[in-house]
Amino acid sequence: MHESQARAYVSMNRDLFDPGQHSVESPALPPGVTLLAGFALADAACLLEDVAQMAEVSPPRRMQTPGGHWTSVSMSNCGEIGWVSDRRGYRYEAVDPLTEKPWPALPPSWLALAAQAAEHSGFPDFLPDACLINHYAVGTRMGLHQDRDERDFSAPIVSVSLGLPVTFQFGGAGRRGPVVRIPLQHGDVIVWGGVARRHYHGVLTLKQGMHPATGDRRINLTFRKAL
Ligand code: MD3
Ligand code: FE
């Protein structure tokens, strides 16, 4: 079977997803990181339709950092609460500061996808309350950082990659030190839990390209339990 066929088969039959064959936890990947290749492939078109609909309610926007810079990535959220950044700091807000309305709801199909990915990775009770939607244009990137604005670090983080491929950088508990580079493509899902949950990570500059599902963009959904 061709590689891309294998990926499609896997996600069309998420209930039958065979972790032994398709999920990789080391030695290639650091402890706590599980790559579910193609896990979201069959859902990708629906996810992207939902993303487009949500963008009309809470448009993606660059956010200002406490240091006064602007994120190169455009962001929005869905869920009970959303991650925001401005001169006052990073935090979660129930109301979108741009629209002054609640964020769009987290669709049940999105919740199911995230929960199933977490379950396959050893986290049976993942119930996210926030989903950050990152829109990457060609030339944008996300520098090394930690996710530490959430209350409960025992919950994993689930990320879904859509559209153009990118190289993900995964470091250690400190900003310096070696990083592992993980290539991510359309439909891949990664689950970060345990010790990996606090580690530094980032995304290299998005290279030029054209993807049938998203055009010249990459979209990443980051599911978190923030409250
Ligand atoms: C590893 N976003 O929004 S998601 C972020 O592709 C963020 O948009 C990236 O990092 C993106 O904060 C990567 C994957 C991810 C998210 C959280 C993590 C990886 C993580 C937390 C700890 C370790
Ligand atoms: Fe992050």
Residues 140-151 pLDDT 10s: 999 999 999 999
Question: Quick one: pLDDT at residue 146?
Answer: 95
Give the integer Cα–Cα distance in Å for 111 and 115.
Answer: 6
Q: Which of 22-36, 81-95, 165-179, 193-207 has the lowest mean pLDDT?
A: 22-36
How does residue 28 score in pLDDT terms, banded at 50, 70 and 90? confident
Residue, of 56 and 23, whose pLDDT is higher? 56
Percent of the chain beyond pLDDT 70? 88
Judged by its nearest atom, the ligand closest to the C-alpha of residue 169 is 1
How does residue 135 score in pLDDT terms, banded at 50, 70 and 90? very high
How does residue 25 score in pLDDT terms, banded at 50, 70 and 90? low
- The residue behind tokens 């209350």 is 151
Predicted confidence (pLDDT) at residue 59 exceeds the cutoff of 50: yes
Ligand 1 pocket test, pick from 63, 134, 188, 190 with the greatest ligand atom count within 8 Å of Cβ, gives 134
Question: Quick one: pLDDT at residue 26?
Answer: 45
Residues 93-128 pLDDT 10s: 999 999 999 999 999 999 999 999 999 999 999 999
Rg (CA), the chain: 16
Q: Which of 45-59, 173-187, 209-223 has the lowest mean pLDDT?
A: 173-187
Query: Measuring from each residue's beta carbon to the nearest atom of ligand 1, which residues come in under 6 Å?
Result: 132, 134, 142, 147, 157, 159, 190, 192, 196-197, 199, 201, 203, 220, 222
Q: Which two tokens stand for residue 177?
A: 């030190």
Nearest CA to ligand 1 atom 22: 197
Predicted confidence (pLDDT) at residue 21 exceeds the cutoff of 80: no
Question: Quick one: pLDDT at residue 2?
Answer: 39
| Cα 159 to averaged position of ligand 1 atoms, centre (Å) | 7
Predicted confidence (pLDDT) at residue 158 exceeds the cutoff of 60: yes
| Cα 42 to averaged position of ligand 2 atoms, centre (Å) | 25
Give the integer Cα–Cα distance in Å for 191 and 160.
Answer: 9
The residues, ordered by sequence, that sit 6+ positions from 193 with a Cβ below 8 Å of its Cβ are 32, 34, 118, 121, 122, 123, 155, 156, 157
Q: What is the pTM assigned to this prediction? A: 0.91
Which of these CATH numbers, 2.40.160.40, 2.60.120.590, 1.10.3210.10, 2.60.40.420, describes 3-224? 2.60.120.590
